[in-house]
């Protein structure tokens, strides 16, 4: 064998030896593939997390007083504007009857009074609002809750003309608890003081007594319900 042939043989041998060291064995190859498969698994979609729906809050006889006590602490609004089909009435609420004030503002913000009526008109006495014979009003009452408010009659407020007060419920109500969804405005001059002590005044009309008088002058049927519906189109609370 010539020196040239020996050199070529040596180079070829070294090349084959290096190639054998670089290639993994069959077991090593399988292990490598297994690791790649395990490490590269990505779920197609993230796991679903079920969200629990929050239960709708509903006022009851048990929670209403505590709710309005806390609600009154954060209130900045002290006036409510009622836009009616006969004009606007602005009411300023009394601070020292906190439950009734908070209730009226809460219902206003909940949109309860929108599309209700002045449903009772007693000549030269009162106009009463907050009810309606439509399904919408019944549904709103159902969602807000069923509750009454205790009377708060010893704060020095009299039933002067223009005072806003809350009627009592007529159903099983020996203590004259207030019906929270309705209110009345005194029309009598100078006032209807026989109501003092039995009902809770919680506000005073500061603008729109001419509208109150106009509503009080509308024709009514035998049950004091106006012959034509008198709408509260919108109620807005403000400072």
- Reference 77, options 237, 202, 206, 235; nearest CA is 237
CA separation for the pair 22, 53 (Å, rounded): 60
> Does residue 39 lie in a domain region?
no
Nearest in space to 89 (alpha carbons), one of 166, 164, 189: 164
Bridge partners of residue 236, in order along the sequence:
81
Q: In this structure, how many other beta carbons lie within 10 angstroms of the beta carbon of residue 5?
A: 9
Residue 21 lies in a domain: no
115 within some domain: yes
Residue 149: the pLDDT is 94
In terms of Cα–Cα distance, which of 36, 71, 44 is closest to 57?
Answer: 71
Structure tokens of 223?
Answer: 């049950």
Closest to 131 (Cα-Cα) out of 162, 101, 170? 170
Question: Quick check: 118 and 126 in contact, CB under 8 A?
Answer: no
Given this model, what pLDDT does residue 46 score?
A: 55
- What domain range is 80 assigned to? 64-238
Q: Give pLDDT, residue 168.
A: 84
pTM: 0.76
Query: From CA 59, how far away is CA 145, in angstroms rounded?
Result: 4
Residue 193 domain-assigned (yes or no): yes
From first to last of the 239 residues of the chain, give the pLDDT tens digit.
Answer: 544 454 444 444 444 444 444 444 444 444 434 443 444 344 455 555 555 555 689 999 999 999 999 999 999 999 999 999 999 999 999 999 999 999 999 999 999 999 999 999 999 999 999 999 999 999 999 999 999 999 999 999 999 999 999 998 766 676 778 889 999 999 999 999 999 999 999 999 999 999 999 999 999 998 899 999 999 999 999 99
φ, ψ at 107 (rounded to 5°): -65, -35
Measure the CA–CA gap between 157 and 165, rounded to whole angstroms.
10
Give domain status of residue 7, yes or no: no
Domain membership of residue 150 (yes or no) is yes
Q: Is residue 10 part of a domain?
A: no
User: Which CATH number do you get for residue 112?
Assistant: 2.40.100.10
Count of domains in the chain?
Answer: 1
**Residue 57 lies inside a defined structural domain of this protein:** no
């Amino acid at each position: 064998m010539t020196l040239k042939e020996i050199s070529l043989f040596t180079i070829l041998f070294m090349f084959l030896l290096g190639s054998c060291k670089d290639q993994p064995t069959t077991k090593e190859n399988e292990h490598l593939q297994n690791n790649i498969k395990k490490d590269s698994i990505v779920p197609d979609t993230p796991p679903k997390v079920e969200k629990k729906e929050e239960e709708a809050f509903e006022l009851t006889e048990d929670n209403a007083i505590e709710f309005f006590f806390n609600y009154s602490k954060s209130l900045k609004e002290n006036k409510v504007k009622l836009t009616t089909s006969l004009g606007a009435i602005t009411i300023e609420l009394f601070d020292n009857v906190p439950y009734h004030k908070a209730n009226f503002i809460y219902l206003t913000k909940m949109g309860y009074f929108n599309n209700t009526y002045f449903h009772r008109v007693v000549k030269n006495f009162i106009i009463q609002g907050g009810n309606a014979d439509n399904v919408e009003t019944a549904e709103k009452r159902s969602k807000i809750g069923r509750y009454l408010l205790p009377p708060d009659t010893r704060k020095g407020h009299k039933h002067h003309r223009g005072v806003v007060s809350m009627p009592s419920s007529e159903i099983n109500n020996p203590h004259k608890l207030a019906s929270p969804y309705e209110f009345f405005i005194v029309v009598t001059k100078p006032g209807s003081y026989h109501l003092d002590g039995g009902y809770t005044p919680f506000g005073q009309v500061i603008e729109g007594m001419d509208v109150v008088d106009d509503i009080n002058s509308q024709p009514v049927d035998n049950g004091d319900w106006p012959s034509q519906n008198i709408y509260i189109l919108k109620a807005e609370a403000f400072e």
